[in-house]
């Protein structure tokens, strides 16, 4: 079995954090999002994972070179960003001729995904989309039997039985790639529209368990808050006891105080008299003596002084 992990995006919703760190390397309770997905793929018996890269590709490449036992990893580098459709087209040779899992690296979910492949192969569909009912993102129109009818805004779309969110997790048959544009922002959705128009079947499959889009600093904070409060027991796969995650080389002065939940990345420093509450410190961030940080994400190497409340800082 094979998989494609989409990790090339600019991460504009996470700016300014993504000026120095690609979104796929954002933290998830002591792991990175990309690392978590590759670990899970290996656990499912996936033998080859293709990861597309563009923004800060050197950092992603360094992480990929560490490898994962049992998982062969290929990089599909995009000198120019190709979008979700073009990224798949460019990786076609690496993906081979069989069905594969498709994963957006900036989401997190607890559901097992191989059953999506099973349904794809059993039904002859060109794609099976993992879906959730999430009012923030519901835009996929479904029939009562789970067939995708189209997408919000499509002209002439009949009143569907259901609206659902495409989770960024799917099983894909390689013939879908024949419908995808070689580049462009609407790539994958445009390709699915073309496949539907040609009479292909696309199915939706409800995913059990937890799912979220972690494409904003606020969602990263909420994830760690809920983990710290024990609200997401199904995310035990993330590891770490919480509410404090201190990565290798992180140093917290004995006179500093941590409150609520705190993640301190590799090499982060919290100096004497500082107070950190409900915040994430990415690798190398430093909170100076006497500074208070609340409900904030501090980017790589950021030096915090005074009183910082809310937002992302880099």
Q: What is the mean pLDDT of residues 204-222?
A: 93
Residue identified by tokens 């690609």 is: 22
pLDDT band at 266 (very low <50, low <70, confident <90, very high): very high
C-alpha to C-alpha distance for 287 and 281, rounded to whole angstroms: 9
What is the distance, to the nearest Å, from the Cα of residue 81 to the centroid of all Cα atoms in its chain?
Answer: 17
Antiparallel, parallel or unpaired: β 275-281 and 297-298 = parallel
* Average pLDDT over every residue of 177-184: 86
- Residue 236: pLDDT band (50, 70, 90) is low
Q: How far is Cα 173 from Cα 121, in angstroms, rounded to an integer?
A: 8
Residue 176 in contact with residue 195, Cβ under 8 Å? Answer: yes
Gap between the Cα atoms of 240 and 107, Å rounded: 19
Map out the domains of the chain as residue ranges.
Answer: 2-213, 243-313
Q: Does domain 2-213 have CATH number 3.90.550.10?
A: yes
**The pLDDT value given to residue 31:** 82
Choice among 41-50, 70-79, 242-251 with the minimum mean pLDDT: 242-251
Q: Of the ranges 149-153, 194-198, 243-247, 286-290, which one carries the lowest mean pLDDT score?
A: 243-247
Q: Does domain 243-313 have CATH number 2.160.10.10?
A: yes
Answer yes or no: is pLDDT of 112 > 80.
Answer: yes
- Asked whether the predicted pLDDT for residue 121 surpasses 90, the reply is yes
> Binning pLDDT at 50, 70 and 90, where does residue 237 land?
low
**What is the percent of the chain with per-residue pLDDT over 90, rounded to a whole number?**
78
Global confidence as pTM: 0.92
CA distance 48 to 46: 6
């Amino acid at each position: 079995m094979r998989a494609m992990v989409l990790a090339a995006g600019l991460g504009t919703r996470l700016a300014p954090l993504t000026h120095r760190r690609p979104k796929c390397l954002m933290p998830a309770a002591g792991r990175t999002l990309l690392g978590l997905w590759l670990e899970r793929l290996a656990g499912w018996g996936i033998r080859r994972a293709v990861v597309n890269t563009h923004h800060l590709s050197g950092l992603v490449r360094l992480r990929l070179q560490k490898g994962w036992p049992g998982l062969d990893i290929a990089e599909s580098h995009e000198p120019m960003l190709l979008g979700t459709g073009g990224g798949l087209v460019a990786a076609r040779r690496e993906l081979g001729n069989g069905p594969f899992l498709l994963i957006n690296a900036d989401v997190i979910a607890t559901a097992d995904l191989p059953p999506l492949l099973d349904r794809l192969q059993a039904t002859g569909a060109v794609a099976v989309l993992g879906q959730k009912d999430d009012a923030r993102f519901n835009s996929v129109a479904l029939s009562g039997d789970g067939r995708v009818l189209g997408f919000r805004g499509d002209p002439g779309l009949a009143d569907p039985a259901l609206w659902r969110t495409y989770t960024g997790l799917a099983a894909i048959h390689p013939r879908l790639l024949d419908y995808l544009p070689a580049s462009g922002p609407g790539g994958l959705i445009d390709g699915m529209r073309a496949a539907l128009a040609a009479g292909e079947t696309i199915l939706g499959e409800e995913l059990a368990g937890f799912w979220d889009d972690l494409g904003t600093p606020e969602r990263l904070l909420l994830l760690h808050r809920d983990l710290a409060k024990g609200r997401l027991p199904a995310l035990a796969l993330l590891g770490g006891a919480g509410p404090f995650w201190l990565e290798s080389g992180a140093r917290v002065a004995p006179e500093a105080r941590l409150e609520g939940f705190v993640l301190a990345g590799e090499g982060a420093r919290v100096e004497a008299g500082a107070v950190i509450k409900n915040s994430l410190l990415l690798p190398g961030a430093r909170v100076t003596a006497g500074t208070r940080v609340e409900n904030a994400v501090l980017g790589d190497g950021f030096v915090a002084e005074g009183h910082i409340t809310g937002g992302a800082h880099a």
